[in-house]
Structure 1
Amino acid sequence: MTSREFCRIAGRLMRRPAAPFHEHAVREEVERLCREHGLAFRRDRFGNVLVRLHTARVRPLVLAAHMDHPGFEIVRRRGAACRVRFQGGVGDSWFRPGLPLRLMPSGARAALGPRVGKDKTFELIPRQPVDSADAFAVWEMEDFSVRNGRIHGRACDDLIGVAAILATLIELKRKRARVNVIGVLSRAEEIGFRGALAVADSGALPRTSLVISLETSRELPGVRMDSGVILRVGDRALVFDPKAGRFLSEVALDLQRRNRSFQFQRALMSGGTCEGTVYQEFGFQTAAVCVALGNYHNCAPRNRIAPEFVSVKDACGMVDLLVHAARCMPKYERMTSALPARLRRLLRNARRRLLTSAT
């Protein structure tokens, strides 16, 4: 898939603001894209979207990302007065009275007012009349733009992951690939993985699935933006399945042999906990990938609220990796057995030398 086509998909999603439990506009765009490209999808009873491309009887590959982003929920109305509560991980020092907000779904302008109490509840200062349908608010900033090889916008986290799943499925369908891939696009991840927990517990996914969690993750020492997709060894909570991680490493190396411009990195991304932890703890063999993210959760230097950004090249590399991983699933056991076989050969040689030199 070309970078231009990927950016078109990402732009369509990122121009639909969302917050935890208020992902409806993003979900509608996801479903619209699925219909346009002939991808089978369904909503589960919790409002998550499951997209499937099943053209071969092979082990299922599940690609998981979330549709929400930190934002404000309207929790109280009294006439023209409103209070909003922030949902998501942003430190106290970033909340300053007067910061511009956008009410949704009307798009009316407002500003952040004084804090009320100890939790992240604030008075809302309307700049325009508040519509009775308005249910949440987001930071007022650009939804989406592409500049100098970067995608900028409010919600790269995790709509870049959602876009990567859709792009992967579209590309596999276009190539008539023999695969079994399920995309899980979940809700309310930012406040405790609510949608992913519901999916993992529901029985909707085959227990034999290999799950790959897709995220954007804050740039940490040891990884660099523009240096490729990151094979995420683990997150803040735990380390993911080593055999699944070995499979992704072998897939990435094979892809690199075929395409010398493909780059990847491997790192423990401990800046936060991702949905991979949920799926692994619920018994699924799990791996994870991500791309480096700037201005994580819109938190810029000097306590400024600003758009997030990612590398277009890294995001497209993630799609390339996932497309190749889906096509390599029939070779999973062969690809993951190479290292153990090599170690057994080393053991045989080691025994001979150790025994002859033991005394």
Structure 2
Amino acid sequence: MTQSRRMLVLRAVVEDYIRSQEPVGSTSLTKQHHLGVSSATIRNDMAALEDEGYLIQPHTSAGRVPTEKGYRYFVDRLATVVPLSEAQRRGINSFLSGSVSLTDALQRSARLLSEITGQVAVVASPSLAKATLRHVEMVPVAMTTLLAVVITDSGRVAQHGLGVSAMPPTDAVARLSNAVNEQCNGLSLSRSAETVRAIGSSVGYEDVRAVAESLADAFESMALDERANELYMSGASRLAHTQSVADLAPLFDALEEQVVLMKLMSNLSEETNASGVGVSIGSENHSPELLHASVVSSGYGRAAAARDADGEQDGDESSVGDTSGSADEPIAFVGSIGPTHMDYAATMAAVKAVARYLTAFVRDGLA
């Protein structure tokens, strides 16, 4: 009995169980797969796989089903994610290309991903902590208040009120805005804060020194915001039609705990396999509510932008200015949550495809 054949048997069991959700027996494997050995030999292989913890037999007379260890072996051997068909790609592009804003694109992405997978889709808006500055505009809104409108490279727009004891001259505010936009474009928000303070303390900016300090404080506050602003979810009702109430109750509890879910999927999107997709199965989620669920996640943004569908370089993304390391990681994530017997190959391909679209959306400045 060779180890390689035994693992082919494991793969066949996982594939058949994902498709049927019924325990898999040696007779059906012999009929469905060309393994080149007898049913008795396959039965011996399955017994060995059970001893090794890859399979379990729910009932004495029943076939086997994969364990968490079995699913993990199967997923890890999916070295490359099979890309979606050309028709599926066109469908994704057609559905998402109508997006009029970043928020619209994220909402559409969640709906589309849930429709493709039949599972819960979760899409996060970009975190300001990982953003770089694209443009800032300061507008007087009261006698002692300026409104700073901050636009980042991810398309996120943030507004901050800047309090001053007395409104400085309009031309002085405009001069400060121009200097900030010239010197901070492409910098991380923390570096932008340092640069703004240096501008405010330099000669010629005495009238707006307090404004510069207030703007720098606003940038620092944004840089410390480690939370993605919002999670867009879709597909919970769809999943309810395919899963038992016992499995769904804890899963819905997990969906309510958005901070925990965000941390899990964000970490997973940064700890991906060679294909750029991360998968966490059952107890690997470190959450009782997700003990019988699997999570598939991929980052989108600057890091993902460097690769095309086959993992090749799209182009040099390193010349956009200082990002203080953020160019090496995604700015947000897209993911899918479903049962441990989900169709991993299809889910991973769909998650990756949607992530790539959002990467292009952010990169091309469509937001």
Normalising by structure 2, what TM-score? 0.26
Q: Which structure is larger by alpha-carbon Rg, 1 or 2?
A: 2
Of Structure 1 and Structure 2, the greater helix share is in 2
Of Structure 1 and Structure 2, the greater strand share is in 1
